[in-house]
Structure 1
Amino acid sequence: MGGLIRAAIERPVAVLALVLLAVLFGVVAIRDIPIQMSPDIEKPILEVRVNWPGASPEDIDREVVTRLESELASLNGVEELQSRSSFGRSRITLTYNVKQDMDKALVLLLSKLSAVNDLPDDAQTPRVRTSNSDDSPIARLALVAKDGNEVNLEALGSFLETNIVDPLGRIEGVAEVGFNGGGRQEMRVVIDPAKLIQYKLTLTEVINALRSSSSMMSVGMITEGKRSYAVRTESANYTPETAGRIVLRTDVSPSGTIVPILLSNVASVDLRVQKRTSFRRLNGKEAIIINALREQGTNVVTTMQRLREEIALLNKTELLPRGLELNLVYDETKYIESAIDLVQQNIWIGGLLALFILLLFLRSLLPAAIIFVAIPVSVIGTFVAIAGLGLSINVISLAGLAFAVGMVVDASIVSLENIFRLRQRGMKAQNAAYLGARQVWAPILGSALTTVLVFVPILMLDLPVGQLFRDIGIAISVAVLISVVVSVTVIPALASRLLAGAGNKYERLPSIPGIDHVARYISNLILRYVRVTIKHGYVGAFVVVAILLSAGFASYRFAPQLDYLPDGNANFVFGRIIVPEGYSIDETLQIAEKMETAARPLWEGGTEIGGPPAIERFFFVAYSGGAFAGASSVDPSRVSDLRMVLMRPIFEVPGARAFVRQASLFGRSVGGSRSIRVDVSGDDRADIMPVALALNQALEAKFTRRDGNQLRVIPSLSSGAPQIRITPDLTALARAGVTVRELSSAVDIFNDGANVIEVPIDGNLIDMVLSGKDAQNMSADELNTIPIVTRSGNIIRLEQLAKIEIVSSPGNINRLAGKQSLS
């Protein structure tokens, strides 16, 4: 080490060049390092999602989930297998051990899914999603009609995808853009049963004809001379008129001519918007909610700047002529920039305070300035390591740098203080710089390595907490190690030049009245204590034990509440509304409107003294089975006061419950939650229900809502949602010549409409839906009269072929390790 110190003193220009290079590389690295709120967190979780439109939770659990779980249960490294089946969709969650190679796990999962080939025909292909910190949107947007304009947002599905979602998705740094609302078009084919009888057609024949009418496929190549031609069959571009000319069957007339039976002979065809599945409002106005997710490793601040520019362009070009407006209702960079500014401010303040303390003790500007150089060199140099390791600038890493500001000067202070001491004794500047740095380099390095070794367990931890706090460990460790190099190179080189003046001017430092008196008193007190402990060893032992006991008591008495991460003061409260199972979407909408009615005065008229704060934005999304809502405050410091504003009106609705909490700055995928999950599982729901009810009552008594606790059971403890069960009479079906599948298909068509095929219209594929005249508006009593057309050309009512009864059925079915569960 002595050679390095001497080389630095003898070649100050080289040292200056290295310092400038470190600063230059650091500045360049800052420009390229991704800036985001928190580090990238990859959780060992994979999700498999399967949609089966129109299927009940029981059917999805039996026909989809159990089959997939039996195949996936043999995957290596899976610690927990959970599933949730609800109306029309299912989700299977696989939690792996923390050391699992997730890329390999994903490949094996996809291989297992490809081997499952016995799923229902109407079930969609399973989709796989990963779970990481990029799942949280960096921006939420709302498309609303401008004041004074009446626009049907539900008819904007195709326009939304083509003119808004696609341009936003092409922005550099945006990985995915999703939206909620804006129904897509569908081609509705309304069947007339009387016409089917007239032409002696069955629904099966109609469905088969429609499915065979559209085909787009490559059918090989033709080589002719010097040219090769690709051969492709492609159906025509559909319109209601061309669809009406689809031939369902050909008959031979008495005169011997072939007579085609067209779709228009037995049905009417039109284009319409799909059935509405949710309601969304922003400050009382109908809205379409759009979410933007970022690509991993991109700069959130830069991406959001591009996103804002694109929003301004869309508002000016595409939306203004239509009376629409796209509003940015959530912007993650607002919190990122605020947090970064705060940490940067702390770094500057910390640096200036460190300089003040140095001046207070050294009483000389030059020595203090020499030490102060260590702060920017160490901090800026750390950004080179952050960039090289593929990390990001975030609140965690910047907090580490803020901590490191006070630590990086320690090594330089020890080095320069020793050099300064030798200089005060009259030693030449160069000799003092060399000898002073050489005498203390070993304890400086030992102290730094001790600090670095503290973070080694965190750096080696694969859990999400290890990924989260790895940034702070790396930031502090790198900054401290750089400060060691600075203390034995930069500090001696500067000291040998800047302290080369007359030695006697450092022999007597200026005095500060009062402060020096207190300092001498404390110094003498410490010296007396040292003398006593050297003379009487039991005194030192007593003091050590007393300090340890006092520290232990203080830690126990004043320890703060434990938490994974602080929530921060995010200006947003989010709540879920749980409605009784079986409630329709219209009834759920009315419940959500009660919350909107309570919040409306706070965004329209402001607030009163002593009342809740004014609301900046309020939104809700209501769907069949529940709703969720959120609000932000004009005064961010009082946003938590809006919790009771949103919850109180739901308390008045029998059977409904609301769960509202202030959102975390770090997001659910990083910060987790304060919830504790208790699972009750068994072979059958009826077996676990009594245990779950008893546990729920005990927890409600222990963790009361009055104390701010919230208790939620998933799925609900209710007996279930009402379900109409149709049990085919096999004997009656056989006499009528109708199969069970044909019966089910007829009920699907005349009740809600059945998707038959996707057809091309104007370059897009839309659903062709086959339905009866009163589909989507049928009551439970009218279900008995659904017409079943037989092959002989007769119509039989549904009640003549099946037993129809109303039963109770669970609205959701959860499984844990293959067994039904309640959480």
Structure 2
Amino acid sequence: MVFKNYSQKNRPINPRDTMAPNRGIIAFFSRHKVAANLLMAILILYGMFGITQLKRQLMPDFGLELISVDVEWQGASAEDIESNIINAVEPEVRFINGVKEVNSTAFEGRAKMYISFKESVSMTKALTDVQSAVSRITTFPQDIEKPIVTQVLQRDEVCAIDISGPFSEKTLKFYARQIRDDLISRGLANVEFQGARDSEIWVEISSDNLRELDLTLAQVSSELASSSIDLPSGSINSGGVSRQIRSDRLARSPNELRDIEVVSKASGEKVYLSDIANVYETFRVNSSYRVNTEGPSIGLKVYRTRGADSLVSQQAVEKYMTQVAGLYPASLEIVVYDVFSDQVRQRINMLLENGGTGLILVLLVLFVFLNGRVAIWVAAGIPVAFLAALGAMSQMGLSLDMISMFALIMGIGIVVDDAIVVSEHTTTLHRRGMNYKEAARLGAQRMFPPVLAAMLTTVAAFLPILLIQNDVGNIISAVPITLSLVIIASLIECFLILPHHLRSSLKKVSEGENKPRKFDVYFNRFRDDRVLPIIEKTYTKKGFTITATICMLLVSLTLLSTGRVNFEFFDTPESDILLANFSFSPGTSEERTEEMVNEIGRALYSVEEKLTGQKGSLVNYGVGNIGVSYTGKGSFSSDVSGGHIGSFVAELVSGDVRLIRNREFIEAWEAETRLMSGIENFVIFEDSVGGPPGRDIDIRVIGDNLSQMKKAALALRNEMRVLPGLIALEDDLPYGKEEILLEIKPEGEAIGFTAEEVARQVRNSFSGSVAQRFSQDTEEVIVRVKLPGDETENQTIRDIYLTAPDGGS
């Protein structure tokens, strides 16, 4: 028998080549043309349908076993919040079934608590248990706001919208509310206000008028509350007709409040609120607001529904923005920035580019070493396997996100390796002289056990990730699942579809002219004369081979341990969002904080012109915030708030089209910013892009003495500033305000004053007495009775006029 063999040394067919039986599912599909092509068509259609159902988002959906409790107590210090609120709530929620840990933070005027539960606990029941536990507490201070208990849900942002123009803040808020309602009606899950201060109606009464009428702020507040009501009074049946009774005298505007009688004497004399008070609409004190280069602005943060496609959600926003142009004044500026779906689109394009590049490289390599027809069918197996995997992902509820795309990119090499192994062995058998039918069948049958073993090894290496039970495990669980689906799809394509296509290709080769290529001759000569002797020596000298392997392993470990090869658990691309936080000493006015925000904005655009020479080539948008700082996207920790705190958000053009890197821009921005006197903290850092939430590194200082903890934090900050690669460093323990302690003298006690009465009159003088709360335009409006601002700002606490319980002063 003579063998046509131009690519290898002539030798008889190995007897093992004919040992595989001509039966089984691989043999059936290798010779059945309809079955193989039909299976390929089914996988393609299945994948195309799956793509239409597959959600596209940045991070996978995952559950958070967190319940938050938020309690406000205006005017209270952080120590008061801890002793009166946190210490009251923690014992009630700590021993609820399934609670893992409780983390509490006390701010000035607010308490924030996070209750973490075990993964096996039903969060619906956990939410009910926490609400019941908080409602049972009877020791809360009288003046606190109603505790808000909510479940923390993982949400993906869609984009941010900024609304500004030559309008009052109230008018901007009206336009923002309309835009919010329109977006929600178009299917977006949640649209939240940013920088929209709560409305209040202030009733300012001078102390002279109070003394003249022998009234207190609490009495005026009580009179307003009893005179301005909207109260159902039941129903009455009369004359066969049923009617409802209602008392509707609720004052919802300053004009309606001015007409309320405050004093009515038996002689017929009446004193209306307009006679003694200045009534006007304003905004809540110490609530955050926003400014940009045009003046005041209102922000909207748009979130997608759980399970919705990020790209579809963004398209809904863009479609609405094209329709909204004619609905509002031309001077109203509506800017969409921080488009989160752009990051999803970039990663999908990266996956397609990597897949396309891999496909081209595979084709080039296979065309060089194998037959052209064989190379085409091997390359065609990549999209077929991927489509099948995408179809299965959609059926399992997975999404096309950063985690699953990472697994898909790894799967490209697996799919190609399987097909190359089978096609190369099949081509080798055919070149040795075997019939193309038998070569296609035997090549697949013989390679199935080793390929399957290799695939199972890969799956076994990644499946333990599913055993991770914390938040990180929930996020990266998509890696082993997606990779397993790609491997299964690759095995189906490689052993049930590819063999028949190799059979058809080799048939064409057998029928055509079969002359050797010069490359094959030279390559095989190099392989046989150069490579094979080295392989034989490594096989015969096992000790040397094992020693060399161990040495290479030690070298790899040394490169990692010495830092020559950097390690990063979750590498993320450069963000286009930069954040700047600063804080003054407590008590700094909001006006001064706003001046610093404007200075940061000036420095931002000045740096842009210095680095690029023109405006708009580097910075897309910038907006400042007064009263709030940012911890970064995806962080569940509470943002610090207060009138002495400010921040600035800047969006740069995409990192793919700019030459200026974030670190260079941040350094120039910090150098250009002229810090005002009294500033305590100023940092600029880039926002996170995907990955686990939170800061890069968290260091906790634990102790009983807050002053010592603050000193330790400052010392640690000073030591760490010299570390290489450090961008921003800050602590979350701000300096507190000085306290004035009230103590009643014996003379006051003799008059009849109590500690509670004195504290309440002092509180009403500075913070005001809440007379009424009512709902208007989907928000709560507070009517607050207080002293005029010039009296509280220009007088000390010793100058406050107090009314004794018996009416004296």
Q: TM-score, normalised by structure 2?
A: 0.85
- Aligned residue among 625, 647, 664 for 2:670: 647
Q: What residue is the counterpart of 1:662 in the other structure?
A: 686
- Aligned residue among 563, 568, 571 for 2:568: 563
Is the 1:202–1:790 Cα contact (8 Å) retained in structure 2? Answer: no
> What displacement does 1:327 show?
0.7
Structure 1 residues 602 and 558: alpha-carbon distance in aligned structure 2, compared to 1, 3 A threshold: closer
Structure 1 residues 214 and 385: alpha-carbon distance in aligned structure 2, compared to 1, 3 A threshold: farther
- Aligned residue among 53, 67, 72 for 2:93: 72
3-state SS of the aligned residue for 2:141? coil
Q: State the alpha-carbon separation in 1 of the partners of residues 603 and 682 from structure 2.
A: 14
Structure 1 residues 45 and 703: alpha-carbon distance in aligned structure 2, compared to 1, 3 A threshold: farther
Counterpart mapping for 1:152-163 below 5 A: 152=168, 154-156=169-171, 159-160=174-175, 162-163=177-178
Q: What residue is the counterpart of 1:621 in the other structure?
A: 625
State the AA in 2 paired with 1:468.
I
- Aligned residue among 737, 740, 743 for 1:727: 743
- Aligned residue among 577, 585, 610 for 1:580: 585
Is the 2:684–2:727 Cα contact (8 Å) retained in structure 1? Answer: no
Counterpart mapping for 1:156-235 below 5 A: 156=171, 159-160=174-175, 162-181=177-196, 183-197=197-211, 199-216=213-230, 218=232, 233-235=247-249
Q: State the alpha-carbon separation in 2 of the partners of residues 750 and 542 from structure 1.
A: 83
> What displacement does 1:198 show?
5.2
Is the 2:94–2:101 Cα contact (8 Å) retained in structure 1? Answer: no
Q: What residue is the counterpart of 1:88 in the other structure?
A: 109
3-state SS of the aligned residue for 2:69? strand
Structure 1 residues 714 and 664: alpha-carbon distance in aligned structure 2, compared to 1, 3 A threshold: closer
Is the 1:46–1:94 Cα contact (8 Å) retained in structure 2? Answer: yes
- Aligned residue among 8, 33, 49 for 2:54: 33
Counterpart mapping for 1:321-720 below 5 A: 323-362=331-370, 364-501=371-508, 503=510, 505=512, 508-512=515-519, 517=522, 520-533=525-538, 535-556=540-561, 560-602=565-607, 605=609, 607=611, 614-623=618-627, 624-633=643-652, 635=658, 637-648=660-671, 649=673, 653=677, 656-666=680-690, 670-682=692-704, 684-685=705-706, 689-690=707-708, 693-694=711-712, 696-697=714-715, 700-701=718-719, 703-704=721-722, 708=726, 710-716=728-734, 718=735, 720=736
Is the 2:251–2:257 Cα contact (8 Å) retained in structure 1? Answer: no
> What displacement does 1:272 show?
4.1
Is the 1:15–1:493 Cα contact (8 Å) retained in structure 2? Answer: yes
Structure 1 residues 674 and 777: alpha-carbon distance in aligned structure 2, compared to 1, 3 A threshold: farther
Long gaps (5+) in structure 2: 1-20, 628-642
Q: What is the root-mean-square deviation in Å for CA atoms of aligned residues?
A: 3.5
Is the 2:202–2:786 Cα contact (8 Å) retained in structure 1? Answer: yes
3-state SS of the aligned residue for 2:358? helix
Structure 1 residues 335 and 381: alpha-carbon distance in aligned structure 2, compared to 1, 3 A threshold: same
3-state SS of the aligned residue for 2:55? coil
Is the 2:164–2:172 Cα contact (8 Å) retained in structure 1? Answer: no
Q: State the alpha-carbon separation in 1 of the partners of residues 58 and 533 from structure 2.
A: 51
1:761-794 per-position Cα deviation (integer Å, ceiling 9, x unaligned): 689752211122x236622634433333446554
State the AA in 1 paired with 2:681.
R
Counterpart mapping for 1:277-356 below 5 A: 277-283=287-293, 285-320=295-330, 323-356=331-364
3-state SS of the aligned residue for 1:292? strand
Q: State the alpha-carbon separation in 2 of the partners of residues 312 and 564 from structure 1.
A: 41
State the AA in 2 paired with 1:693.
K
3-state SS of the aligned residue for 1:618? strand
> What displacement does 1:673 show?
2.6
> What displacement does 1:171 show?
3.1
Long gaps (5+) in structure 1: 797-823
3-state SS of the aligned residue for 1:787? coil
Is the 1:749–1:775 Cα contact (8 Å) retained in structure 2? Answer: no
Q: State the alpha-carbon separation in 1 of the partners of residues 41 and 479 from structure 2.
A: 25
State the AA in 1 paired with 2:260.
I
Moved more, 373-382 or 437-446: 437-446
> What displacement does 1:674 show?
1.7
> What displacement does 1:126 show?
1.9
- Aligned residue among 105, 108, 116 for 2:126: 105
3-state SS of the aligned residue for 2:404? helix
Is the 2:195–2:289 Cα contact (8 Å) retained in structure 1? Answer: no
Q: What residue is the counterpart of 2:24 in the other structure?
A: 3
> What displacement does 1:478 show?
1.0
Q: State the alpha-carbon separation in 1 of the partners of residues 774 and 418 from structure 2.
A: 73
State the AA in 1 paired with 2:665.
L
Moved more, 374-383 or 93-102: 93-102
Structure 1 residues 704 and 75: alpha-carbon distance in aligned structure 2, compared to 1, 3 A threshold: farther
Structure 1 residues 88 and 646: alpha-carbon distance in aligned structure 2, compared to 1, 3 A threshold: farther
Is the 2:407–2:479 Cα contact (8 Å) retained in structure 1? Answer: yes
Is the 1:179–1:290 Cα contact (8 Å) retained in structure 2? Answer: yes
Moved more, 738-747 or 441-450: 738-747
- Aligned residue among 43, 46, 49 for 2:70: 49
State the AA in 1 paired with 2:690.
F
> What displacement does 1:397 show?
1.6
Q: State the alpha-carbon separation in 1 of the partners of residues 662 and 47 from structure 2.
A: 39
3-state SS of the aligned residue for 1:404? helix
State the AA in 2 paired with 1:305.
Q
> What displacement does 1:576 show?
1.3
1:438-464 per-position Cα deviation (integer Å, ceiling 9, x unaligned): 222222211111111111011232223
Is the 1:282–1:619 Cα contact (8 Å) retained in structure 2? Answer: yes
Is the 2:188–2:304 Cα contact (8 Å) retained in structure 1? Answer: yes
Structure 1 residues 414 and 707: alpha-carbon distance in aligned structure 2, compared to 1, 3 A threshold: closer
Structure 1 residues 533 and 517: alpha-carbon distance in aligned structure 2, compared to 1, 3 A threshold: same
3-state SS of the aligned residue for 2:477? helix
3-state SS of the aligned residue for 2:307? coil
Moved more, 328-337 or 783-792: 783-792
> What displacement does 1:565 show?
1.9
Q: State the alpha-carbon separation in 2 of the partners of residues 289 and 762 from structure 1.
A: 18
